[in-house]
Structure 1
Amino acid sequence: MASATGIGVQRMLSISGAEYRMTCSSVVRVFVVAVWLLSLSQVRGQLAPGAGYVFPPVVQPGTTVNVQMGVFDWTPDVQWFVHDARVGLRILGSAGDFHVPPPPYWKGPRGGTNAPPIPREVPAELTIPADQPEGFVSWQIANANGVSKTARFFVSRGAEIVETRSRDLPQVLPALPVSVSGRLSRLTEVDRYALTPERDGPISISLMARRLGADFRGMLQVHDESGQLLADFADTEGVDGGLTFAASAGRRYLISLNDVDFRGDRAYLYRLSIQSGPRVLCTIPARGRRGAAVDVEFIGQGLQSGGSAVEVLRQSVQFPADTASELVVQLQTAWGNVPVPIPLSDLAEQRCGDDAVQALEANGASVTGRLGPQREEQRFVFEALAGERFTIDLQSAAIGGALDTVLVVEGPDGKLVAENDDSAGTDSRLDVTATTAGRYTCLVRAAESLTGQADDVYRLLLQRQAVDFQLQAPQQVLLPSGGQVEVAITVQRLGGFDGEITVAADGLPPGVSAEGEWKIPQGKNDLKAVLKS
């Protein structure tokens, strides 16, 4: 049998990544929140099942919809877990045949390319409550052989349709806004959609594929009636994305989507969202300080001209003083309002000034700025005492910017303390300890030549580390029935914390117990915790 359990702690940072921040007490209690899966099994060496996809990958609140659950290495004893108790899942039958991709197949140099895993599809019914918020819902499966990784589907409150297939003709889209779900099911496949707008102005298209778990990188193109290419986007970095183009009322436009390498597979799901109006990429400042009135710089495609150029609009915003996590600002444009969510912060959220060197408050500071051919590097300084520890984050991709960031820290003597490039995608992060008291310097740079575009934006966040720690544990553990398993728990000590940590397990499934004392000794960073059934 398989039981769904999980780990939760005080002040959790990330449940899905099984990474936790805890208070610095000597005892940490661990309790069940349905995230960490245990599998009780008498079978060793067998393949665990795999959760692949849901098709269609987008569902709507207040509906009950039939879907196909794509799975790998399915067995009749598979159990299903949805990570949101509000969502109902009912399995309607067994797995169907294996879905071998149809022709064509690669020949020549690409003939030896490894084939993707072959899924089977299980018919199911999803019931989404009317008050379900928009966003992703994760799910997993487990059997006697083990536990799958998580897969996800999306809940949308907008207008949604599903592709209808035709070998030769594009699918005609209804009035905007609309989102269409589809998939690239074979090699060389190109999905095409025809659009005839009712009014002049910009049209924006956003791709969701990687976020659905699809292992393809989309190539979007828009052509006019004569076949002229108006706009294109290639997801070379695997982060989804989109484009904006200028449209005229009554003219027909053709939208095409394919993988950049013309790959295809039944698991290559996507969602294209098409709407009238420009597309906002990022803002300066990247976050809004609670209770502050700020002149915000909105950066996006077609904000002024209605075309594909990256442009800037400014608008005054009054941020609320409440505890909400974000404010959705209605940006006023010539083509109507564009909703822009801006995260809220308790920091000052400065805007980088004109000075080549800018001072930061060591107790916690955030500044948003822009690099360009006239400013290829920006310096920030802060005062530190000997032994103080700091975390420094340099973000661009995470806030919608286009920079590949490089973060450098120099000591009071001007010598290099630390340097980082791409700790999280193309963003950067450093944990720094001040070995001597004095003024330290953060240098913000780009790894590539700067284009001078308005979206070459970054956010630098400096925080003094509190005396604290983080624990990391695996999301999946295989526990044989009648046996035991070691669970590797590691600790990242922050702010100089060096004490002993005691971990206690609460809410384990019936028949599962924690063996011995779970203690991480002073100065150590790992624990082999034993579970027994």
Structure 2
Amino acid sequence: MPFSFLRSSVLAIAALVPAWVLAAPPAVTGISPAGVQAGKSVTVSFVGAAGEPVPQVWFSRPGITLAPTDKPKEWTLTAAPDCPPGIVWIRFFNDEGASDLRPVFVGTLPEIAEVEPNNTNAQAQKVEALPVVVNGVLHKGGEVDAFSVTLEAGQTLTASVESHRSLGTPMDGVLQIATPDGFVLVQNDDDRGNDPQLTFTATRPGPYLVRAFAFPADPNSTINYAGGEGYIYRLLLTTGPVIDHTVPLAVASPTPAPLAPVRTGIAPDAAPLTPVLIDETAILPAAEPSTLLAHRLPLVSHATPIEAAPAEPNTPQLLTVPMSLTGHVSAPGEVDRYRFAGKKGESLRLAVDARRFDSPLDAVLRLFGPDGKLIKEQDDDGRRSYDIDFNQSLPADGEYRLEVTDRFRHGGPRYAYLLTAEPTVPDFDLNVDTNRWTLKAGTPLEIPVTIARRAGFKDEIVFEVEGLPADAEVTLAETKSQAMGDSAKSVKLKIETKRTTPLNVPLKIIGKAGDRRRVADGPISGVSDRITALWLTIVKGS
């Protein structure tokens, strides 16, 4: 789900440097450590250059600050005590340009820093208390970071790395739990995308090693472990429960209903959590360990039922469309069955989301008609997606059946999914291929906007740009986006200015058609998230 533009952008104003310093735009590609506990401060450094003059900082939501120190390469990251947990996107900018967005986590657990040297079994860094988040870096190729934790017999340890899926690092991590002399007891790779997670129950009391290393997320010809300044990670270590996902897996909007957290490890009954919406993004106020990226929970305005055991064997659960149902393929080979009433000619959007929430389910969805015959079986929405999303016209009046299962007949308590069935409605989406631009005074800037028209949407779309200064003018290469022709799929916004002083402004690109108002989103480097808080830097002309 895209992070939205904040009406009141949060700016941290940094000190100026003398005008004679060679100017350069910020080129920050990572922040280490990549998080801070709410109510605390931590000293951070950057991967890449902060730029000259010293940049200012924009945050996707309030409650967090980042300020320079008296040391050129160190800044202080602070989260307010009431800052909600989760990802905050940060952008650095100065008069020369702006960086891409970089994420930091606001957490609720104690956090410590990895301390070198800890690259051999004998050098393992002792972790004194759990739960904790360890902020580390695999500084160079061949590096293995080792940590020592003490467990009682029968105690269960969960270790989970956060790196590639949310921080956008080049790291394909591996986790091991080993004996003090290095005998590997359990290993995991690629549990949540490229990030590893494992659960281990101690058979004897005493110290155990937790070891982290990585391969490059984009494979190359090397056969050594990978590392570098960008191999930043957050390692969660806990002997208690960890929030894996919620039931439902969708957030009711505009008034969120409580969500029941589903935990791994030792999971006693717990009170439901009510999400907080911050500018159309869900924040889950959980005070305990969690691996759920709550900002990826979709907002929906229809019913969010939960899978129920059938009243009678082999009787599919009755659904009322529209709805988004949360279910689980709870055991290997399980097939979940549902039924709904449909009318001839009715067009429905049918979707199954699982990997979106880091569920291991490789979903298969089957649709059967009133005559019991298979209408469609769908697996994977594309080459890089294991989830499902398609439109289907119903051929007759009657009762239809849906089946959800795993492609390889796997199953378990983490195999959660969100099944959506809703009428297809003509509509449109907008996107751009970057989240920031630089406009030189006196030279026009063209911004291509891609238009995805859905379910036969044929209305004209009128565009506008919010956030521009009064002395900037916006024109369209095409006056309108029509249903036919080249402008149906894309338009070019042309922005010009005669401004003589530099300026940085957040932007929203908006398309309007009747009562529909859609905001364009752009990609964030290294992650699957997209954002509607776009950015424009105006620089002096040559």
TM-score (norm 1): 0.71
Residue 404, structure 1, aligned to residue 382, structure 2: no
2:149 corresponds to 1:195: yes
Q: Pick closer, same or farther for the CA change 1:94–1:192 going to 2, 3 Å.
A: closer
Deviation at 1:408, TM superposition (A): 4.6
Distance 2:273 2:39 in 1: 32
- Taking a change above 3 Å as real, the CA distance of residues 276 and 511 of structure 1, as seen in their structure-2 partners, is same
> 1:267 is matched with which residue: 230, 240, 243?
230
DSSP-derived class of the 2:171 partner: coil
Q: Please give the residue correspondences for 1:56-75 in structure 2 after superposition, counting only pairs within 5 Å.
A: 56-71=33-48, 75=51
* Residue pair 1:202, 1:278 contacting (<8 A) in 2 also: no
Change (3 A) 1:392 1:424: farther
1:180-259 alignment, distance < 5 Å = 180-197=134-151, 201-210=155-164, 211-225=166-180, 227-235=182-190, 238-247=193-202, 251-259=206-214
Matching residue of 2:423: 464
The 5 Å alignment of 1:107-122 reads: 122=73
Shift of 1:321: 12
Task: Determine whether 1:419 maps to 2:395.
Answer: no
Q: Map Cα deviations across residues 370-414 of structure 1 (whole Å, 9 max, x no partner).
A: 165443x44544444455443322122334532112335566684
Instruction: Give, in angstroms, the shift of residue 525 of structure 1.
Output: 3.4
In 1, the alpha carbon distance for the partners of 2:41 and 2:272 equals: 40
Alignment of 1:371-386 (within 5 A): 372-375=331-334, 377-385=335-343
Specify the SS of the correspondent of 2:206.
Answer: coil
* Matches of 1:126 and 1:338, distance apart in 2: 21
Distance in structure 2 (CA, Å) of the matches to 1:135 and 1:532: 37
Q: Structure 2 regions of 5+ residues with no counterpart?
A: 11-23, 216-223, 498-542
Q: State the alpha-carbon separation in 1 of the partners of residues 437 and 368 from structure 2.
A: 43
Residue deviations 1:215-242, cap 9 Å, x none? 1121111123464433321126634242
- What amino acid sits opposite 1:530 in the alignment? K
Q: Note the C-alpha offset of 1:51.
A: 2.3
Q: Give the alignment of 1:333-482 within 5 angstroms.
A: 346-351=303-308, 353=310, 355=314, 357-370=316-329, 372-375=331-334, 377-385=335-343, 388-409=346-367, 414=373, 416=375, 419-423=378-382, 426-434=385-393, 436-438=395-397, 441-447=401-407, 449-473=408-432, 474-482=434-442
The 8 Å contact of residues 62 and 129 in structure 1, kept in 2 or not, is answered as: yes
SS of 2:210's equivalent in the other structure is strand
Q: 1:513 aligns with which of 451, 473, 477?
A: 473
Q: Distance in 1 between matches of 2:28 and 2:52?
A: 14
Q: Distance in 2 between matches of 1:321 and 1:66?
A: 30
Matches within 5 A, 1:283-294: 286=249
Counterpart in the other structure of 1:307 = none
3-state DSSP of counterpart to 1:217: strand
C-alpha contact 2:244 2:291 (8 A) present in aligned 1: no
Contact kept, 8 Å, 2:137 with 2:233, in 1: the verdict is yes
CA distance in 2, matches of 1:360, 1:526: 38
Q: Please name the residue that 2:52 is paired with.
A: 76
Is 1:159 the counterpart of 2:110 in the alignment? yes
State the Cα RMSD in Å: 4.3
Number of residue-to-residue matches in the alignment = 452
Residues 248 and 304 of structure 2 are in contact (CA less than 8 Å); yes or no, is this contact kept in structure 1? no
Residue identity matched to 2:68: I
> Structure 1 residues 436, 77: closer, same or farther in 2, change over 3 A?
farther
Deviation at 1:287, TM superposition (A): 6.2
510 and 301 in structure 1: CA distance in 2 versus 1, 3 angstrom threshold = same
Q: Is the 8 A contact 1:395 1:460 kept in 2?
A: yes
- Give 1:178's match in structure 2, choosing from 114, 123, 132: 132
Tell me: CA distance 1:298–1:139, structure 2 relative to 1, closer, same or farther (3 Å): closer
- Aligned equivalents of 1:90 and 1:137: distance in 2? 16
Contact 1:138-1:153 at 8 Å conserved across structures: yes
Judging changes above 3 Å, is the alpha-carbon distance between structure 1 residues 59 and 405 closer, same or farther for their aligned structure 2 residues?
A: same
What letter is aligned with 2:139?
Answer: S
Q: 1:78 to 1:228 in 2, by over 3 A?
A: same
For 2:465, give the aligned amino acid.
A
Partner deviation per Cα, 1:414-450 (whole Å, 9 max, x = no partner): 4655734055955423231416444555443433x23
Task: Tell me the amino acid that sits aligned with residue 402 of structure 1.
Answer: P
> 8 Å contact 1:485–1:532 — kept in the other structure?
yes
* Bigger relative contact order (CA 8 A; separation at least 6): 1
- Gap change, CA 1:146 and 1:302, over 3 Å in 2: same
Distance change (3 Å), C-alpha of 1:481 and 1:356: farther
SS at match of 1:398: helix
Distance 2:51 2:354 in 1: 44
Q: Cα distance, 1:288 vs. partner?
A: 9.1
Q: What's the offset of the Cα at 1:291?
A: 11
2:38 and 2:82 in contact (8 A); partners too: yes
State the Cα distance separating 1:329 from its structure 2 match.
8.8
C-alpha spacing 1:468/1:197, structure 2 compared with 1 (3 Å) = same
- Go from structure 1 to structure 2 and tell me whether the alpha carbon gap of 1:438 and 1:530 turns closer, same or farther (over 3 Å shift): farther
Q: Which moved more, 1:523-532 or 1:224-233?
A: 224-233
1:137 aligns with 2:88: yes
- Counterpart code for 1:520: S
CA offsets per residue over residues 451-489 of structure 1, 9 Å max, x none?
454433433121224454332234222322211122222
Q: 1:410 to 1:518 in 2, by over 3 A?
A: farther
User: Is the Cα–Cα contact under 8 Å of residues 196 and 249 in structure 1 kept in the other structure?
Assistant: no
Residue 300 of structure 1, aligned match among 248, 256, 264: 264
Counterpart in the other structure of 2:521: none
Q: Give the partner amino acid of 1:528.
A: K
Q: Secondary structure at the match of 1:204?
A: strand
- Percent same amino acid at aligned positions? 24
Q: Secondary structure at the match of 1:520?
A: coil
**Aligned residues of 1:394 and 1:461 also touching (Cα < 8 A):** yes
Which residue does 1:276 correspond to in 2? 239
Alpha-carbon distance in 2 for matches of 1:204, 1:422: 32
Of stretches 162-171 and 194-203 in structure 1, the one that deviates more from structure 2 is 194-203
Provide the secondary structure at the position in 2 that maps to 1:504.
Answer: strand
